[in-house]
């Protein structure tokens, strides 16, 4: 007999959690699970990645979206409660903060046997004011008590929620690594061929930013870093790929630059393998991260990464081995990048180490198998 799971996410915005949730929704049937995906709508100026398969079992509920008022949020709890009572899922599995709030309350009230929440990151640092953060943390502690299990996608996040912020206990927490679809990032195309696809300059060293245009990802810092590198007479070009609430600010910053011809901006791409292969270096300037899929995607594509040492980044990047960790000040970041890009032996070693790391530990198939094992162990 098939088991039922409700996967609940705040919205299918551009980013790692959406890719993971869509993959689960599309593939859990291989393991005798019937999946229903419940999501909110994307917020303004934010792209959306919808599932390609099992679309008939995808339900939108507006109150799940961030920023929904109390009344809409209450209605979302009520709607999910009714769906649970009607369909009687064995598991509800929530992702992202708002869905974790609404979904776990509904699941608890409806007496769903297994209630799981995944922390892909957290919003306890660099997101909100101290007062608002304290309220959110208190809510998360209460919601953890309503949960059967909590999943942290990296040791760093597990440490944050069990020790640093004391959201839950180690005994209630599982560390489960994420994954990527490795076959989607294999290609025989040369770097020049990939650059032609996006009309990028052939002769330049190209640094790229790939992700949401959101304050936590800090794309404006990437632009400031680019300006710093150009002031040092580096013959670089800068590719910025994504979408989000800072879209207008990103465009304004580049248009105001004296070096605007040194930038290319592209909207979010569903197929990123050729884009990563166009780059000489991926750069993350985030203020906080979970486990960034973009780093794993770049690694398997043979593109080295330089990143600020935040959140789960440190679980992926061993400095000077699988990538480069950057300090916060722009001059230091620029000097580190210049030094790296001039050391071809180190660049090649980082590329090979990154490919090996992803193949060994971060396949999407491995992620799916571990999810099913966790589900089965909790149902029994």
**pLDDT digit string, tens, across residues 200-220:** 999 999 999 999 899 999 999
pLDDT reported for residue 91: 98
Listed residue (193, 151, 195) closest to 174, CA to CA: 151
C-alpha separations of 187 from 109, 203, 242, 272, 370 in Å? 49, 21, 22, 11, 27
Say if residue 54's pLDDT is above 80: yes
Say if residue 177's pLDDT is above 70: yes
Say if residue 326's pLDDT is above 80: yes
Average pLDDT over residues 352-375: 96
Say if residue 171's pLDDT is above 80: yes
Least confident range from 312-316, 323-327, 336-340: namely: 312-316
Say if residue 45's pLDDT is above 80: no
Q: Which residues pair with 3 in a beta bridge?
A: 33
Q: List pLDDT tens digits, range 102-144.
A: 999 999 999 999 999 999 988 787 677 888 889 989 999 999 9
Average pLDDT over residues 157-185: 94
Say if residue 187's pLDDT is above 90: no
Listed residue (158, 118, 154) closest to 17, CA to CA: 118
- Domains in the chain, ordered, with CATH? 3-179+363-379 (3.40.50.2000), 182-361 (3.40.50.2000)
Q: Which residues pair with 33 in a beta bridge?
A: 3
Average pLDDT over residues 344-351: 97
DSSP letter string, 142-174: HHHHT-SEEEESSHHHHHIIIIIS--S-GGGEE
pLDDT averaged over every residue in the chain:
93
C-alpha separations of 144 from 40, 65, 151, 165, 310 in Å? 22, 21, 11, 12, 24
Q: List pLDDT tens digits, range 294-307.
A: 999 999 999 999 99
Per DSSP, 225 falls in state H
Say if residue 86's pLDDT is above 70: yes
Average pLDDT over residues 352-377: 96
CB-CB contact of 152 with 169 (8 Å): no
Q: Is 52 exposed, middle or buried (0-12, 13-18, 19+ CB in 10 A)?
A: exposed
pLDDT reported for residue 126: 67
pLDDT reported for residue 260: 93
Average pLDDT over residues 334-363: 96
pLDDT reported for residue 306: 98
pLDDT reported for residue 85: 97
- Reported as a pLDDT band with limits 50, 70 and 90, residue 16 is confident
């Amino acid at each position: 007999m098939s088991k039922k799971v409700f996967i609940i996410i705040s919205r299918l915005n551009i980013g790692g959690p959406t890719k993971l949730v869509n993959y689960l929704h599309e593939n859990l049937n291989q393991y005798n699970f019937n999946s229903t995906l419940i999501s909110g709508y994307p917020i303004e100026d934010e792209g959306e990645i919808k599932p390609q398969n099992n679309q008939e079992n995808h339900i939108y509920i507006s109150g799940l979206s961030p920023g929904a008022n109390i009344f809409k949020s209450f209605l979302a709890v009520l709607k999910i409660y009714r769906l649970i009572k009607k369909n009687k899922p064995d598991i509800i599995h929530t992702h992202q903060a708002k869905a974790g709030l609404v979904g776990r309350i509904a699941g608890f009230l409806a007496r769903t046997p297994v209630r799981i929440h995944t922390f892909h990151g957290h919003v306890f640092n660099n997101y909100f004011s101290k007062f608002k953060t304290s309220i959110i943390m208190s809510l998360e502690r209460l919601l953890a008590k309503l949960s059967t299990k909590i999943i942290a996608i990296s040791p760093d996040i597990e440490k944050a929620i069990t020790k640093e912020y004391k959201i839950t206990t180690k005994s209630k927490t599982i560390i489960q690594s994420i994954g990527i679809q490795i076959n989607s990032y294999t290609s025989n195309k040369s770097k020049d061929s990939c650059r032609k696809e996006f009309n990028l300059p052939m002769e330049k060293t190209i640094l790229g930013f790939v992700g949401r245009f959101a304050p936590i990802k800090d794309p404006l810092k990437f632009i400031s870093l680019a300006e710093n590198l150009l002031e040092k007479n580096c013959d670089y070009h800068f590719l910025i790929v994504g979408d989000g609430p800072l879209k207008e600010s990103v465009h304004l910053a580049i248009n105001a630059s004296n070096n605007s011809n040194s930038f290319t901006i592209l909207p979010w791409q569903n197929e990123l393998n050729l884009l990563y292969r166009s780059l000489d270096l991926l750069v993350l300037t985030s203020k906080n991260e979970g486990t960034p899929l973009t780093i794993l995607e770049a690694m398997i594509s043979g593109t080295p990464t330089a990143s600020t040492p935040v959140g789960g980044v440190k679980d992926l990047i061993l400095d000077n081995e699988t990538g480069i960790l950057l300090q916060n000040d722009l001059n230091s970041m620029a000097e580190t990048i210049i030094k790296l890009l001039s050391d071809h032996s180190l660049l090649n070693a980082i590329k090979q180490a990154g490919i090996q790391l992803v193949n060994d530990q971060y396949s999407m198939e491995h992620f799916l198998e571990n999810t099913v094992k966790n589900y089965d162990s909790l149902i029994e």
